[in-house]
C-alpha cells in the first residue's frame, strides 16, 4: 500500500476516534455532572490551547527525533489517556481530575498530526505531496463525519464512558496501522541529520524570514474566515434563522460530502493548470460570496447553496496553503513548519469560534456580522497575493536543493 493511502487510513481512524468523544464530553459535564456552561467553555478553551501546543511540539519533535517516534508516542499516549478517561467517567471521579485529563487527552491527540504531515512533505515530487495532503484532508473529514454519529449512538445506549473507549480503540487501530503498514526505515528521514551528522538545533526550527512570518499571518486570517463556517454558522442558523437541528446537520453533511468527492480532483486540476498558488485568493472570494449570501437570505435551500460555495472555497484553501508552507521549509525543519502551520490554522479557527458569535450581539441586525467576515476574507485574499511572490521565488521541494529560510 502506498504511504499516502496508509496515512489517509490513519488520519480517518484518528479523526473518527477524536470526533466520537469530543462533542459529547461537554454534554456529559452539563447533563450528568451539572457543570456550568462557563466552566465548560473555559475547559474547552484550555483544551484548544493545549492542542495548539501539541501541534507545535509535535512539529519540533518530528525534526529532532523523527516522524516514527512522534507518531508512536502520540498514538500510545492517546490510548492511555482515552482509556483512563473511560475508566474515570465509569467510576464517577471528581469533575476536576476528569477535566484535567481531558485537557491532556486533547494535547496527545494533536501531537502526531505534524509528524504525518512531515512524512507527506518529504515525498519526492510535488504531485505526490499535493495528493497526499488532499487525501489527509479527505480522511479527516470522513472521520469527523462518522465519529459524532457513532459517539451519539454509543452515549445513548452504553453511556458516556463508551465514547472514550471507542476513542482508545481508534488510537490503537492507528498505532497498529502505523507499525504494520509504514516501513519507516525505507522512507526519507524527517529528522535529517545534516551538517556533519548533528541533529537540528532548536534555533533552526523557529520560523524565519518575512515570507514565512507573513504567510503564517495570512493563514491565521484566512482560517478565521474558514472557522466562521462551523460553530458561528451553527449558532446563527439555530438562534436567528431558526433552522432545525436536522437542517443544520444537512448543511454540514453537504460540507463533508463535497470535500470527500471534490478535494482530490480539484487540487489535481489546479496543479495541472499551474494556478494552485493563487487558489487561496480564489478561496477568499468564494468564501466572501458565501457569507454575503448568508447575510441576505433566510431560506434553507439558499443556505445549502452558500455552504456548497464556501466548501469549494475551503478545498481551495487547505491543501494549497500546506504546499506553500512545505515550499518555505527545508529538510531539517519540515516538521516544525508543519507544526507552525497547524497552530496557525487552529488559531484562526479558535478566534472565529469566539469573535464571530460576539459580533452577532454587536450588530443590529445580526446578519451584518457576516459582512465583516466577508470583508476579512477579501483582506486575507489580497494579503495572500502580497506574500505569494516571495513564496514563489523561494519555492523548493525535497527533490530540489534543500533551502532553509534565513
The answer to whether the beta carbons of residues 67 and 119 sit under 8 Å apart is: yes
**Cis amide leading into 236 (omega within 30):** no
| pTM greater than 0.85 | no
CATH number of this structure's domain 1-186: 1.20.1250.20
Give dist(CA 17, CA 319) in Å, integer. Answer: 23
Tell me if domain 1-186 and domain 205-397 are identical in fold: yes
In tens digits, what is the pLDDT along the chain, a chain of 406 residues? 578 888 889 988 988 888 788 767 777 887 788 877 677 767 777 887 888 888 888 888 888 888 888 888 888 988 998 899 999 999 989 989 998 888 887 788 788 888 888 888 777 677 778 888 888 888 887 887 777 778 878 887 888 899 899 999 999 999 999 888 887 765 555 544 443 445 555 555 566 667 888 999 999 999 999 988 877 887 788 778 888 767 876 787 788 788 888 888 998 898 888 888 899 999 999 999 999 999 998 888 999 999 999 999 999 999 899 888 888 887 777 778 888 888 899 888 888 877 888 888 889 899 999 999 999 999 999 999 888 765 554 455 444 444 444 3
What are the domain boundaries of the chain? 1-186, 205-397
Sign of CA dihedral 396, 399, 402, 404: positive
Give dist(CA 241, CA 386) in Å, integer. Answer: 37
Q: Which three cell numbers stand for residue 58?
A: 509535535
Q: May I ask the CATH class of domain 205-397?
A: mainly alpha
The answer to whether the beta carbons of residues 71 and 115 sit under 8 Å apart is: yes
Amino acid at each position: 500500500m502506498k504511504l499516502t493511502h496508509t496515512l489517509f487510513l490513519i488520519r480517518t481512524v484518528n479523526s473518527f476516534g477524536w470526533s466520537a468523544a469530543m462533542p459529547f464530553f461537554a454534554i456529559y459535564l452539563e447533563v450528568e455532572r451539572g457543570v456550568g456552561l462557563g466552566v465548560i467553555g473555559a475547559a474547552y478553551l484550555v483544551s484548544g490551547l493545549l492542542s495548539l501546543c501539541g501541534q507545535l511540539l509535535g512539529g519540533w519533535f518530528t525534526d529532532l527525533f523523527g516522524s516514527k517516534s512522534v507518531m508512536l508516542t502520540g498514538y500510545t499516549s492517546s490510548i492511555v489517556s482515552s482509556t483512563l478517561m473511560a475508566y474515570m467517567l465509569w467510576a464517577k471521579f471528581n469533575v476536576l481530575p476528569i477535566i484535567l485529563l481531558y485537557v491532556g487527552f486533547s494535547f496527545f491527540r494533536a501531537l502526531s498530526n505534524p509528524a504525518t504531515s512531515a512524512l507527506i512533505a518529504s515525498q519526492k515530487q510535488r504531485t505526490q505531496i499535493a495528493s497526499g495532503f488532499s487525501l489527509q484532508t479527505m480522511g479527516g473529514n470522513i472521520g469527523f463525519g462518522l465519529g459524532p454519529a457513532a459517539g451519539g449512538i454509543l452515549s445513548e445506549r452504553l453511556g458516556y464512558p463508551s465514547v472514550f473507549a471507542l476513542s482508545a480503540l481508534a488510537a490503537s487501530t492507528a498505532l497498529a496501522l502505523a507499525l504494520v503498514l509504514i516501513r519507516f526505515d525505507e522512507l526519507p528521514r524527517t529528522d535529517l541529520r545534516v551538517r556533519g551528522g548533528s541533529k537540528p538545533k532548536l534555533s533552526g526550527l523557529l520560523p524565519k524570514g518575512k515570507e514565512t512570518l507573513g504567510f503564517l499571518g495570512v493563514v491565521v486570517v484566512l482560517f478565521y474566515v474558514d472557522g466562521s463556517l462551523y460553530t458561528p454558522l451553527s449558532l446563527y442558523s439555530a438562534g436567528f434563522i431558526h433552522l432545525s437541528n436536522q437542517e443544520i446537520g444537512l448543511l454540514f453533511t453537504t460540507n463533508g460530502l463535497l470535500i470527500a468527492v471534490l478535494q482530490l480532483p480539484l487540487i489535481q486540476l489546479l496543479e495541472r493548470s499551474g494556478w494552485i498558488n493563487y487558489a487561496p485568493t480564489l478561496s477568499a472570494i468564494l468564501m466572501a460570496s458565501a457569507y454575503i449570501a448568508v447575510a441576505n437570505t433566510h431560506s434553507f435551500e439558499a443556505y445549502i447553496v452558500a455552504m456548497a460555495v464556501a466548501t469549494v472555497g475551503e478545498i481551495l484553501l487547505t491543501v494549497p496553503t500546506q504546499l506553500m508552507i512545505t515550499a518555505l521549509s527545508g529538510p531539517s525543519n519540515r516538521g516544525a513548519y508543519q507544526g507552525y502551520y497547524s497552530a496557525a490554522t487552529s488559531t484562526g479557527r479558535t478566534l472565529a469560534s469566539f469573535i464571530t458569535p460576539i459580533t452577532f450581539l454587536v450588530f443590529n441586525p445580526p446578519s451584518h456580522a457576516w459582512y465583516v467576515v466577508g470583508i476579512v476574507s477579501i483582506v486575507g485574499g489580497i494579503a495572500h497575493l502580497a506574500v505569494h511572490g516571495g513564496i514563489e521565488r523561494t519555492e523548493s521541494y525535497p527533490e530540489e536543493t534543500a533551502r532553509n529560510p534565513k
